A and B are shown apart, each in its own frame.
Chain A
Amino acid sequence: GAVVSQHPSWVICKSGTSVKIECRSLDFQATTMFWYRQFPKQSLMLMATSNEGSKATYEQGVEKDKFLINHASLTLSTLTVTSAHPEDSSFYICSAPRPGAGGARSSYEQYFGPGTRLTVT
C-alpha cells in the first residue's frame, strides 16, 4: 500500500488565490521531505527540501515567498502556492526518504506521493 499520501490529488483554482497541498508519511516518520514540480513531458524538478522543525531549503530560482513550506510534524509537510498564476499550473509531487529493505546494501529509498495536479485559470 501507499506509504506517502498527498492531498488533494487535483485542484483547479482562480488566478490570485492560494492553494495548499499536504504530504503525509503514513507509517514512518520523515524529518525530511522533498517537493518537486513536473511540467508535461519534462523531468522532475526539485523545488525545495522540507525540514521538520526548521526552515525549508529552496533550490535556486524557486521563490520562497511564493511557495511556502511548513513541516509541522514528523509526518506532515505542506506546500502553499500563494497568489497562483496560470504558469504555476503543474504536477506537484512530494517524496520522503524511508529506510529500504535489505542488510548492508540498504539505503533510504525515496517514496513518492501520488502527486497533485494544479490548474490555475
Chain B
Amino acid sequence: GQNIDQPTEMTATEGAIVQINCTYQTSGFNGLFWYQQHAGEAPTFLSYNVLDGLEEKGRFSSFLSRSKGYSYLLLKELQMKDSASYLCAVKSDSNYQLIWGAGTKLIIKP
C-alpha cells in the first residue's frame, strides 16, 4: 500500500532550528513536496525534491533520500509565525495526484 509517516506534533523555541521528518512507502516516486498550513487556511507550497540531496530556500531546507524513502524539512531561525502544520506529500506516479501525510503540527514557544 501507500503510506507516509510524519510526527503528529513537535515543539520548538523561537530562534532555534527544527527538523521535521517524513518517511514514505509508495508504489512509485515522482517527487516529494512539503506544504505549510496555518489553522483555518489552505496549504501553501514550500519545497519540492525529486533528486537526492538538499534543497535550500531561505530559512527552509528540504532533504531527500530516495533509497531510504526519507525526507526532512529543516526550519532555521524559527519565528512565531512558523507555528503551523507541515504536510509531506509524494507524487507516486506520472499523474498529478499527491499522497498526503497526516501533517506535523509545529508549536513555537517564545
Contacts and interface: CB of A to CB of B under 8 A. Distances in A.
A112 B44 CA distance: 7
Interface residue tally of chain A, by bracket? 20 to 34
Contact of A114 (B42, B45, B89): B42
B96 A32 contact: yes
Interface residues of B, number: 24
Interface in B18-73: 30-31, 33, 35, 40-45, 48, 50-51
> Main SS of chain A's interface residues?
strand
A89 to B, nearest CB: 14
Nearest to A117: B40
Given A97-B96, A110-B33, A44 B44 contact: no
A43 B33 contact: no
Contacts of A63: none
